[in-house]
Amino acid sequence: MKGEVAILGAAARVGASVAADLESEVRSVVLDSLASSKLDLDDIDAVVTVASDTLDGVMVPIRAEVAGAFGKMPLNIPSSAGHALAAAVVLLESGQARHVLLAGWGAASKLAHHDSRSIQADPFHDRPAGAVPAQVAALQASELLDEFPDLPPHGITFADGAVALVLGSSEGHDAAVRIADAGTSSRGYYPEDDKVDPLRWVNEAMAKWRQQPAKPQVAVSGPGRTAEARAATAFTDATPSGPALLPSGSEAWFGPATALFQAFQLHQQLSRTGGEGVLIDMAGPMGQHVTCVRLAGGAA
Amino acid sequence: MTVPCVLGVAQFPMRTRLPDYTYADLLGRIAYQAVEDSGVDPGDLDGLILSLPPTTTLGVDEAQYWGLAHLPGSRHVLGRVHAAAASGLQAFRLACAWVSAGRARRVLVVGADLADEVANLAGALGQLHDPFTERQVVRNAITSAAVQASAYMAAHKVTSLELASVVVKNRGNGVRNQYAQLRQAVTGQEVADSPLLSWPIRRLDCAPRSSGAAAILVGAEGTGRGGRRTVRAAGFGAFAGARMIGSRMVPGAQSYLDGADLAAAAAQAYAVAGIRDPRTEIGCAELYAAFGIIELLSIEALGLCPKGEAARRIADGEFHADAALPVNPSGGATCGNPLASTGLIRVIEATLQLWGEAGEKQVELRQPTVLVTAIAGAFQSHEVGVLAA
């Protein structure tokens, strides 16, 4: 592939409850993202999806048709938006695709019926003992606040949402937001570190980056405000109240695809202002699966 | 660009039940076996991909949190891939992309199933279809295959015994596969006399319900142990089908019956791999087929024989293990079908043939090129891969 991988177009709908018409929302963001990229669905070779099929009763890979996947090369990665975004990047860099549509959606308004996060814990030992996402996240926040009392209190707000990004080569797209670096780090349900500190995992994920960003815009998606703020301290300019921190995932959490909304916001911001941005996606009750992506606006 | 290669493989014997293992046990055992097979240090992996289809109904879900701890590469999980029974091949394709892109040197793909831990698979398989329309008319994997089989038999004047020839071939091959769940040969008459599930599909036409596990280490050429032929991932193709099978049954668009979607995926893979005439350039094929009819449709859609001829050709001995182009010399999914692993097992069997390490199931390859496929849903989405030595 000539040039670097870039986000060529993006669209998002996030609200308190759009689940009743979620498929329409998915179609809308797909069409809007294509329009903003100035590409047509016929230009798309591969469609990557990120969503939890436990919420809707029909397998996501089978229903990917609603995201425009019919006839395309599909890839369904329900584990996290960061994993799916990184997959889209390597599909392009490996030559498996020239243009990738990355679509994610979720409906936290359905959590009352079935909380898919409750099955993230070991079913034989931990679930019977009460290992549920809210408790695990609260324990982590408690530990962090004990040591760093200036962090914001734990909290999470649920939402429904759909996001679509169009990715391709930056060549010929001067205004595109390029994906300059990406890395992951992971832990199991019980991280087995001496501290459950997301900053450590973020630093691990960025360890192999070719370059550290200078004064980036930062967008974080994690299990709650405390953990998100702690992760963002990887960038000294990104304080919880600082201007460089964009609205976080815990302000409108809609499942594993949530961080795509943070990617969307970074795309919008960097398209206007240029400069660099960092997306930190921390999936899981403590943010155990971390993906960090460095983005750059403007021409390479 | 780096060419992705298979460095190491491992599979677990498929069984109806594996009561002595937890899911995490299975993943751990098979992951370390694959890494050991490659000769690579377990600490020298760049990432881990989990193949795991749906899930609550299989007794496990979100195992990327509770099943991967301490596995090689688990400090850098690159994602869980879920594409129903195509999960394994899709995950393998993703691992190859990571290596090919130069962002990882070695990536482990692992999958495991404990299908016996829930009462039945009806819930999982039911998720393949629209809950408001198709499920109400008893739309499931078996009735879908029945539609395909009856249409195929009518269109090509194929008898029940000829239809059964696929299962007879595969069950015969499975006898030589030490990992197979079903290792007893059957006759065409036994297939035709087995209990009727949905005409013309009979019990012996169907893949069994299976537990099992498989893992593959993918890496750049030269990053594994020496002494083996290099097995390259030479090309991939894929085609995402429609959610509602009926939406593709308009005149002139009968992909569900004629395999046009699979043919499109194959054309992609062949183009990348430089294959012009699959009948002469493919040495062997490991095709995903949970029902005999799916293998017939696949053989034809992949261009390995003309339309409508696969059943009679198999009945005449073509595509058998000693034929010029063996199909499913391992016995295929007919002899064991753990959903998370089945796509990986197709790649593993192809690799073993290319390495010359398939043991009793080893066939003579006229070309060092093996075709693999996987299907998500009821012939809905297709993955095709070409491996070459």
Q: What is the pLDDT of residue A55?
A: 61
Q: What is the pLDDT of residue A74?
A: 96
Rounded to two decimals, what is the model's pTM?
0.95
Contact between A94 and B59 using a beta-carbon 8 Å cutoff: no
Question: Which residues are CB-contacts of A242 (< 8 A; sequence separation ≥ 6)?
Answer: none
Query: Which one-letter amino acid corresponds to residue A138?
Result: A
Phi and psi at residue B11, to the nearest 5°: -140, 155
Cα gap A134→A174, rounded to integer Å: 43
Would you give per-residue pLDDT tens digits along chain B (389 residues)?
A: 899 999 999 999 999 999 899 888 999 999 999 999 999 999 999 999 999 987 554 555 788 888 888 899 999 999 999 998 999 999 999 999 999 999 999 999 999 998 876 666 666 666 666 666 655 556 678 888 999 999 999 999 999 999 999 999 999 999 999 999 999 999 999 999 999 999 999 999 999 989 999 999 999 998 888 889 999 999 999 999 877 666 666 676 677 788 889 999 999 999 999 999 999 999 999 999 999 999 999 999 999 999 999 999 999 999 999 999 999 999 999 999 999 999 999 999 999 999 999 999 999 999 999 999 999 988 889 999 999 99
Q: What is the pLDDT of residue A202?
A: 97
Q: What is the pLDDT of residue A97?
A: 96
Cα gap B386→B236, rounded to integer Å: 6
SS3 (DSSP) at B8? strand
Q: What is the pLDDT of residue B133?
A: 60
Largest CA distance in chain A: 56
CB A22 within 8 A of CB A257: no
Q: How many angstroms separate the CA of residue B171 from the nearest CA in chain A? A: 30
Residue with the bigger pLDDT between A212 and B190: it is B190
Burial A145-162 (b: 16+ CB within 10 A, else e): beeeeebbebebebbbbb
Long-range contacts of B363-367 (CB under 8 A, 24+ apart): B363/B284, B363/B321, B363/B322, B363/B326, B363/B329, B364/B322, B365/B283, B365/B284, B366/B283, B366/B324, B366/B325, B367/B280, B367/B281, B367/B282, B367/B283
B248 close contact with A: CB closer than 8 A: no
In chain B, what residues touch A73 (CB-CB under 8 Å)?
Answer: 236-240, 268
Half-sphere exposure of A64 (CA within 13 A, CB side): 34
Cα gap B57→B80, rounded to integer Å: 17
Q: What is the pLDDT of residue A132?
A: 83
Q: Of A123-137, A188-202, B189-203, give the lowest mean pLDDT range.
A: A123-137
Q: What is the pLDDT of residue B57?
A: 47
Q: Which of B82, B122, B65 shows the shortest CA–CA distance to A119?
A: B65
Cα gap A27→A68, rounded to integer Å: 8
Query: Which one-letter amino acid corresponds to residue B159?
Result: T
For residue B369, list its beta bridge partners.
B388
Cα gap A290→A287, rounded to integer Å: 7
CB neighbours of residue B271 within 10 Å: 12
Average pLDDT, chain A: 89
Cα gap B287→B248, rounded to integer Å: 23
Contact between A72 and B240 using a beta-carbon 8 Å cutoff: yes
Confidence grade of residue A17 (pLDDT, cut at 50, 70, 90): confident
Question: Which residues are CB-contacts of B12 (< 8 A; sequence separation ≥ 6)?
Answer: B18, B26, B29, B30, B112, B179, B212, B213, B214, B341
Residue with the bigger pLDDT between A236 and A70: it is A70
Contact between A190 and B98 using a beta-carbon 8 Å cutoff: no
Phi and psi at residue B323, to the nearest 5°: -90, 175
Residue with the bigger pLDDT between B115 and A193: it is A193
pLDDT, average across residues A224-253: 81
Q: What is the pLDDT of residue A235?
A: 87
Q: Name the residue facing B94 among A75, A184, A284 (closest C-beta).
A: A75
pLDDT, average across residues A243-272: 91
- Site from A79, A140, A167 to mutate, B interface, most B CB atoms within 10 angstroms: A79
Host H or E run for residue B266: helix B260-273
Burial group, residue A37, by CB count within 10 angstroms (0-12, 13-18, 19+): buried
Contact between A73 and B80 using a beta-carbon 8 Å cutoff: no
Cα gap A88→A179, rounded to integer Å: 11
Q: How many angstroms separate the CA of residue B107 from the nearest CA in chain A? A: 13
- CA B5 to each of CA A73, A143, B105, B364: distance values in angstroms, whole numbers, following the listed order: 21, 44, 10, 22
Tell me the DSSP string of B162-215.
HHTHHHHHHHHHHTT-TT-S------HHHHHHSPEEETTEEGGGBPPP-BEEEE
Give CA torsion, residues A63, B79, B290, B362, to 10 deg: 150
Q: How many angstroms separate the CA of residue A129 from the nearest CA in chain B? A: 15
- CA A254 to each of CA A156, A221, B79: distance values in angstroms, whole numbers, following the listed order: 11, 11, 18
The alpha helices in chain A, defined as continuous H runs, are: 22-37, 60-63, 81-93, 133-147, 198-205, 225-232, 259-273
Q: Give the CA radius of gyration of chain B.
A: 19
In chain B, what residues touch A285 (CB-CB under 8 Å)?
Answer: 65
Burial group, residue B118, by CB count within 10 angstroms (0-12, 13-18, 19+): middle
Q: Which of B368, B373, B349, B279 shows the shortest CA–CA distance to B318?
A: B279
Q: What is the pLDDT of residue A61?
A: 79
* Length of chain A, in residues: 300
In chain A, what residues touch B93 (CB-CB under 8 Å)?
Answer: 75, 96
CB B77 within 8 A of CB B50: yes
For residue A47, list its beta bridge partners.
A74, A101
In chain A, what residues touch B47 (CB-CB under 8 Å)?
Answer: 184
Residue with the bigger pLDDT between A210 and A294: it is A294
Q: Which of A1, A56, A9 shows the shortest CA–CA distance to A177?
A: A9
Q: Which of A188, A77, A211 shows the shortest CA–CA distance to A136?
A: A188
CB A36 within 8 A of CB B38: no
Q: What is the pLDDT of residue B64?
A: 87
Q: What is the pLDDT of residue B254?
A: 73
DSSP letter, residue A245: B
Tell me the DSSP string of A5-23.
EEEEEEEEEEES--GGGHH
Cα gap B63→B23, rounded to integer Å: 9
Residue with tokens 């894929």: B238
- Site from B65, B107, B245, B386 to mutate, A interface, most A CB atoms within 10 angstroms: B65
Contact between B131 and A57 using a beta-carbon 8 Å cutoff: yes
CB A30 within 8 A of CB A104: no
Half-sphere exposure of A171 (CA within 13 A, CB side): 8
pLDDT, average across residues A141-160: 94
Tell me how far the alpha carbon of residue B208 is from its chain's centroid: 14
Question: Which residues are CB-contacts of A2 (< 8 A; sequence separation ≥ 6)?
Answer: A169, A171
CB neighbours of residue B155 within 10 Å: 12
